[in-house]
Amino acid sequence: DAGITQSPRHKVTETGTPVTLRCHQTENHRYMYWYRQDPGHGLRLIHYSYGVKDTDKGEVSDGYSVSRSKTEDFLLTLESATSSQTSVYFCAISEEGRGHPNYGYTFGSGTRLTVV
């Protein structure tokens, strides 16, 4: 999607290894989010950021950490990958925060992560 890029698009990793996924935006949006998508669960929020170095946990944050040292980059790290973290990971950005009448997300194309 225009303005937001996720890398890598696909990754296979072994159990116990650390993995970092990158989300890069060129829209200068303040808010950034990491979701995971699994069959039957929809999208579940992992972590989000409301500014540089300002992050908070979502509903499924265990085993994940994030960092945002620049407005344009939001990194998601799996400290020690497990098979339960096999999923499709989506990054999203938003210009406005929750509650704003024009609040809406722009999503990246996703990273398909397989932990073997």
Partner 1 sequence: SQQGEEDPQALSIQEGENATMNCSYKTSINNLQWYRQNSGRGLVHLILIRSNEREKHSGRLRVTLDTSKKSSSLLITASRAADTASYFCATDTNDYKLSFGAGTTVTVRA
The residues, ordered by sequence, that sit 6+ positions from 99 with a Cβ below 8 Å of its Cβ are none
Strand partners, 115: 13
Contacting range for partner 1; rule: CB under 8 A; set: 16-24, 65-73, 75-83, 94-102: 94-102
Q: At closest approach, how far in Å is the CB of 78 from partner 1? A: 20
| Residue closer to partner 1 (CB basis): 43 or 52 | 43
> Which parts of this chain interact with partner 1 (CB under 8 A)?
1, 33, 35, 40-45, 48, 56, 58-59, 90, 92, 98-99, 101-110
